[in-house]
């Protein structure tokens, strides 16, 4: 071939090019070379044949041996619920201890009839009354509209939403109906269904039929129906690349016709205030959260408002389901206002996350090998990492809970508490301390191989002032537990240079000791 370049592409380069693993510049150079070099093009073709042979082998030989069972999302969602319960289990004891008759009556139970069965029954049930109205919510906009439209909406701002419905072949005219849902569902060549029975507060039960597909612009739709009457109450629609659309039945009469309302900016909704809130009220909120298992890493905060009119619970970036759980647990308490917003999750706060160096070069391999050697192998390191991270997270979670208690019940406020409330507060603190002690023991055990070459820590330098209030100890404990969690997470992630790794290794015993001393000090203040 004329003008054939002298330097051919290596086999390595050809495979990297084939797998799109070359950098943009290298790929462009390789492509240019391949256009000119018949030899390399031919070699690339042979390698592609090798790759295709594997694909063929995988399809013909492997695939029939790997039968993937059909297991829907519903089963895992139950596991998630169980997981939440498991983590919150101890909280029930707390509820009893505090004398709070608290019930979270929102839970999911086993899978129910098939989606087809539920929808068929719903279709056979009474149709939606023509006078019914819906609230459509999407993005920051809301639209009150009749449940059944005679023709398209006059509101031009919702034309884009209507267009999505039309494109997805989902009825815009009558969206909250089993028939419309069914019609869309049947039109899908491929889909996955899940039916869940939801038991809500007050003994009410609902079916939730969820259908997901990759074959439609409408990727997922969930229809919620009353279990007894099969009356649809809500439908959630998730369109590709769009804000989710929710349509829910409105029981309150509309003001008039089609009405567009702008969703208000996050704000605390007004509430009738009977009498000023007391620290006891605040303690009840803590106890309720404690009982339902609110966790430290959740972006929930509790504090008195500026005028001490009410206890303000704020939650940022919480999932809707979680908001409802909190609402169920805390909403009925007196002089309590809930405020949920979609602000940044707490986890977005750099202080709450470790920031792995994703660009860590392969030189981290040497240090990872060092860690593996200390633990006696990759699997042992992985197992220890999992346990250590769990322990560290648990410790940090408790430190945060204690920190919130300390902030809200400084000595001046604590001294005003009734005897029963003081006991309740002490009991919450003791549980936090006990849990931290346990978590620290676990953590130290898992990190033992990393501390073998460290000098023993001089705990004398880390004494806590005798007689310090538990509140100030809790504050220091929170800061140090966060530092420890950050060090442990980063160290075990294995993504850093050797120098960084060695620095963290040196720092680890000191971080551990500080936390240990502070937990001990906290424990002493309980006595």
Partner 1 sequence: MIALNEQPAERAFSLDAEVEQIYRESRGSVCAYLLYLGVSADKAQEVTQEVFLRLYQTMRKGTPIENLRGWAFRVAHNLGLKVRSKERSFRAVDADWDRFAHPSNSPESELLDKERNQRVAAAMEELSPQQRNCLYLRSEGLRYREIAEVMGISSSTVNEFLRRAIARLAKAANE
Q: Which is nearer to partner 1, 369 or 430 (CB)?
A: 369
The pair of three-digit structure tokens given for residue 445, joined into one six-digit string? 């055990």
CB atoms within 10 A of CB 89: 10
Q: Which of 24, 130, 156, 269 binds partner 1 (CB under 8 A)?
A: 269
Does 518 contact partner 1 by CB under 8 A? no
Q: Smallest gap, in angstroms, from Cβ of residue 353 to partner 1?
A: 6
Q: Do the beta carbons of residue 518 and residue 464 sit within 8 Å?
A: yes
Q: Which is nearer to partner 1, 265 or 306 (CB)?
A: 265
Q: Which of 4, 117, 342, 418 binds partner 1 (CB under 8 A)?
A: 342
Does 51 contact partner 1 by CB under 8 A? yes
Does 264 contact partner 1 by CB under 8 A? yes
Q: What DSSP character marks residue 60? A: I
Q: Smallest gap, in angstroms, from Cβ of residue 453 to partner 1?
A: 24
Q: Do the beta carbons of residue 515 and residue 395 sit within 8 Å?
A: yes
Q: Which of 156, 267, 455, 465 binds partner 1 (CB under 8 A)?
A: 267
Of residues 158 through 217, those in contact with partner 1 by CB under 8 A are 192, 212, 214
Of residues 215 through 254, those in contact with partner 1 by CB under 8 A are 219-220, 238, 242-246
Q: Which is nearer to partner 1, 206 or 340 (CB)?
A: 340
Render the burial of 119-138: b for 16+ CB within 10 Å, e for the rest.
beebbebeebeeeebbbbbb
The phi, psi pair for 350, rounded to 5°, reads -55, -25
Q: Residue 505's closest CA among 451, 458, 463?
A: 451
Distance between CA atoms of residues 208 and 501, nearest Å: 49
Q: Which of 228, 348, 373, 445 binds partner 1 (CB under 8 A)?
A: 348
Does 11 contact partner 1 by CB under 8 A? yes
Does 346 contact partner 1 by CB under 8 A? yes
CA distances from 188 to 175, 178, 211, 225, 240 (A): 17, 16, 10, 21, 15
Q: Residue 287's closest CA among 418, 101, 160, 522?
A: 101
**Run of H or E residues at 195:** strand 192-199
Distance between CA atoms of residues 248 and 186, nearest Å: 23
Helix (H/G/I), strand (E/B), else coil: 261: strand
**Run of H or E residues at 142:** strand 141-146
Site track 106-145 with partner 1 (rule: CB under 8 A), x = hit:
-------------------------------xxxx-----
Q: Do the beta carbons of residue 224 and residue 231 sit within 8 Å?
A: no
* Part of the chain binding partner 1 (CB under 8 A), chosen from 263-271, 451-459, 467-475, 519-527: 263-271
Does 321 contact partner 1 by CB under 8 A? yes
Q: Which is nearer to partner 1, 318 or 425 (CB)?
A: 318
Site track 278-307 with partner 1 (rule: CB under 8 A), x = hit:
-------------------x----------
Of residues 436 through 475, those in contact with partner 1 by CB under 8 A are none
Q: Residue 367's closest CA among 491, 453, 507?
A: 491
Q: Residue 304's closest CA among 332, 282, 327, 329?
A: 282
* Part of the chain binding partner 1 (CB under 8 A), chosen from 8-16, 92-100, 429-437, 515-523: 8-16
Q: What DSSP character marks residue 216? A: S
Does 314 contact partner 1 by CB under 8 A? no
Does 49 contact partner 1 by CB under 8 A? yes
Does 382 contact partner 1 by CB under 8 A? yes
Does 271 contact partner 1 by CB under 8 A? yes
Q: Which of 268, 276, 423, 502 binds partner 1 (CB under 8 A)?
A: 268
Q: Smallest gap, in angstroms, from Cβ of residue 159 to partner 1?
A: 18
Which residues on neighbouring strands pair with residue 336, listed in sequence order? Answer: 311
Q: Smallest gap, in angstroms, from Cβ of residue 372 to partner 1?
A: 9
Helix (H/G/I), strand (E/B), else coil: 155: coil
The number of angstroms, rounded, from the C-alpha of 186 to the middle of its chain's C-alpha atoms is: 32
Judged by CB under 8 A, the number of residues near partner 1 is 91
Identify each DSSP E strand in 200-347 by its residue range: 205-212, 218-226, 232-239, 245-250, 259-262, 300-304, 311-316, 336-341
Q: Smallest gap, in angstroms, from Cβ of residue 46 to partner 1?
A: 5
Distance between CA atoms of residues 458 and 462, nearest Å: 8
Q: Smallest gap, in angstroms, from Cβ of residue 62 to partner 1?
A: 6
Q: Which is nearer to partner 1, 166 or 268 (CB)?
A: 268
Q: Smallest gap, in angstroms, from Cβ of residue 238 to partner 1?
A: 7
Does 52 contact partner 1 by CB under 8 A? yes
Of residues 55 through 84, those in contact with partner 1 by CB under 8 A are 55-58, 60-69, 71, 73, 75-77, 79-80, 83
Q: Which is nearer to partner 1, 60 or 130 (CB)?
A: 60
Of residues 487 through 506, those in contact with partner 1 by CB under 8 A are 489
Q: Do the beta carbons of residue 222 and residue 108 sit within 8 Å?
A: no
């Amino acid at each position: 071939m004329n003008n054939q370049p002298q330097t051919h592409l290596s086999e390595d380069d050809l495979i990297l090019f084939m797998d799109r693993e070359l950098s943009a510049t290298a790929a462009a150079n390789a492509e240019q070379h391949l256009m000119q070099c018949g030899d390399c093009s031919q070699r690339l073709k042979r390698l592609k044949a090798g790759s295709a042979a594997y694909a063929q082998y995988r399809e013909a030989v492997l695939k029939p041996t790997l039968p993937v069972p059909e297991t829907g999302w519903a089963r895992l969602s139950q596991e998630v619920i169980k997981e939440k319960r498991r983590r919150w289990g101890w909280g029930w004891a707390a509820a009893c201890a505090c004398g709070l008759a608290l019930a979270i009556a929102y839970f999911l139970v086993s899978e129910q009839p098939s989606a087809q069965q539920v929808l068929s029954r719903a279709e056979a049930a009474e149709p939606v009354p023509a006078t019914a109205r819906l609230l459509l919510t999407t993005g920051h906009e809301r639209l009150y509209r009749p449940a059944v439209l005679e023709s398209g909406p006059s509101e031009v701002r919702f034309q884009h939403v209507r267009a999505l419905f039309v494109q997805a072949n989902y009825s815009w005219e009558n969206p909250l109906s089993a028939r419309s849902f069914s019609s869309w569902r049947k039109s899908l060549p491929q889909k996955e269904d899940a039916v869940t029975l939801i038991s809500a507060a007050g003994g009410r039960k609902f079916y939730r039929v969820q259908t997901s597909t990759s074959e439609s612009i409408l990727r997922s739709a969930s229809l919620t129906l009353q279990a007894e009457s099969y009356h649809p109450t809500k439908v959630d629609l998730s369109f590709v690349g769009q804000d989710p659309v929710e349509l829910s039945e409105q029981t309150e009469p509309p003001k008039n016709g089609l009405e567009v309302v702008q969703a208000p900016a996050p704000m605390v909704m007004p509430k009738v205030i009977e009498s000023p809130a007391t620290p006891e009220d605040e303690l009840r909120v803590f106890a309720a959260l404690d009982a339902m298992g609110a966790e430290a890493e959740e972006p929930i905060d509790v504090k008195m408002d500026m005028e001490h009119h009410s206890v303000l619970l704020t939650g940022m970036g919480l999932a809707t389901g979680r908001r409802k759980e909190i609402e169920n647990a805390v909403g009925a308490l007196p002089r309590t206002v809930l405020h949920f917003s979609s602000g940044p999750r707490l986890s977005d706060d750099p202080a709450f996350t470790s920031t792995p160096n994703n660009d860590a070069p392969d030189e981290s391999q040497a240090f990872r090998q060092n860690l593996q050697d200390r633990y006696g192998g990759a699997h042992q390191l992985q197992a220890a990492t999992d346990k250590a991270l769990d322990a560290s997270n648990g410790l940090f979670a408790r430190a945060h809970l204690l920190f919130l208690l300390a902030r809200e019940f400084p000595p001046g406020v604590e001294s005003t508490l009734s005897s029963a409330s003081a006991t309740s507060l002490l009991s919450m603190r003791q549980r936090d301390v006990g849990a931290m002690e346990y978590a620290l023991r676990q953590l130290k055990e898992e990190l033992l191989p990393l501390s073998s070459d460290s000098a023993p820590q001089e705990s004398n330098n880390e004494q806590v002032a005798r007689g310090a209030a538990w509140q100030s100890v809790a504050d220091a404990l929170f800061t140090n537990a966060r530092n420890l969690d950050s060090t442990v997470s980063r160290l075990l992630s294995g993504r850093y240079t050797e120098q960084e790794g060695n620095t963290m290794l040196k720092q680890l015993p000191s971080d551990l000791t500080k936390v240990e001393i502070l937990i001990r000090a906290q424990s002493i203040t309980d006595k």
